Amino acid sequence: MEIIVDLFNQHSGNVDELKRMALSAYLNGADVAKIQILNSKRIWGDDSREYLEMTYDEVKDFYDFCNSHSIEPWATVFDEESLEWIIDLNTKRFKIASVTAAKDKKLCEKILSYNKETIISLGMYNEEFPFGFDSNIKYLYCVSEYPTHLYNDKIRKMPKIFDEKGYYGYSDHAMGIAPALQSYLNGSKLLEKHFTFNNFNQRETEKANLGAFTPDSLRLFKNLVNEFNIIKEI
């Protein structure tokens, strides 16, 4: 299973903290470190998350840092300008957020037109698999609640089988690691989950912290996946 950690909002606008988080996540088992490039007013209609906005130079600094440490950098974008940024930085893959899949078909089609591997979360989309299937498109089962409680009915409705003709992976916002582990046992090939140094150190706008990996829980999850892989080979 490939593990993507989403560093958005847990860095509180500090790019040095962002890089420290990326390195910690990598050392504890993550394969990809992901940021989100956004404009607060454009998405939420106010400046409540303006402190999380990044300039092109800051994004480039993050990409350069990750590449120099053998960490794959990745970014979710919400407009064509930031899409052009990551294309200029030779991003290997794209990520389409649930809200973009549900509300911005034009941007989705623009991203897909580049014919690169594109991971699409569907937590806010009422129809399954809106962009069809080809070798570049991979869908993530997602519950867009921050955090997702374990009794949430959508967790219980997680696909029993993950595959390339349906849900390829799981975007997890649940507290703890049990749903993520269940997705792996059901065949998920990719896990996306937020990452933080402290689940309880958050602003009102940073509720994803409660459902995030910490270095310890990420390492535990990675070790469990490795142990299950050994069992499968016996």
Structural domains of the chain in order of their starting residue, each with its CATH number = 2-233 (3.20.20.70)
Highest mean pLDDT of the ranges 13-17, 44-48, 178-182: 178-182
pLDDT band with cut points at 50, 70 and 90 for residue 232: confident
In this model, does residue 154 exceed pLDDT 70? Answer: yes
Based on the number of CB atoms within 10 Å of its own CB, is 20 exposed (0-12), middle (13-18) or buried (19 or more)?
Answer: middle
pLDDT band with cut points at 50, 70 and 90 for residue 144: confident
pLDDT band with cut points at 50, 70 and 90 for residue 22: very high
Read off the amino acid at residue 44.
W
Please report, rounded to a whole number, the percentage of residues in the chain having pLDDT higher than 90: 68
What per-residue confidence (pLDDT) applies to 95?
A: 97
pLDDT band with cut points at 50, 70 and 90 for residue 205: low
What per-residue confidence (pLDDT) applies to 106?
A: 95
Give the span between the Cα atoms of 122 and 141, in whole angstroms.
Answer: 6
In this model, does residue 147 exceed pLDDT 90? Answer: no
What angle, 0 to 180 degrees and rounded to 10, lies between the N-to-C axes of helices 56-68 and 15-27?
Answer: 30
What per-residue confidence (pLDDT) applies to 199?
A: 83
What per-residue confidence (pLDDT) applies to 45?
A: 73
pTM: 0.93
pLDDT band with cut points at 50, 70 and 90 for residue 52: confident
What per-residue confidence (pLDDT) applies to 202?
A: 63
DSSP type of residue 195: B
What per-residue confidence (pLDDT) applies to 70?
A: 95
Please report, rounded to a whole number, the percentage of residues in the chain having pLDDT higher than 70: 94
pLDDT tens for each residue of 76-117: 999 999 999 999 999 999 999 998 998 899 999 999 999 999
Element housing 66 (H / E): helix 56-68
What per-residue confidence (pLDDT) applies to 123?
A: 84
pLDDT tens for each residue of 156-174: 899 999 987 789 999 999 9
Q: Return the number of other C-beta atoms located less than 10 Å from residue 60's C-beta.
A: 16
Strand locations in the chain (E): 2-6, 32-37, 72-77, 94-96, 118-121, 137-142, 167-172, 190-194
What per-residue confidence (pLDDT) applies to 203?
A: 64
User: Mean pLDDT over residues 181-186, rounded?
Assistant: 96
Answer whether 186's CB lies under 8 Å from 160's CB.
Answer: yes
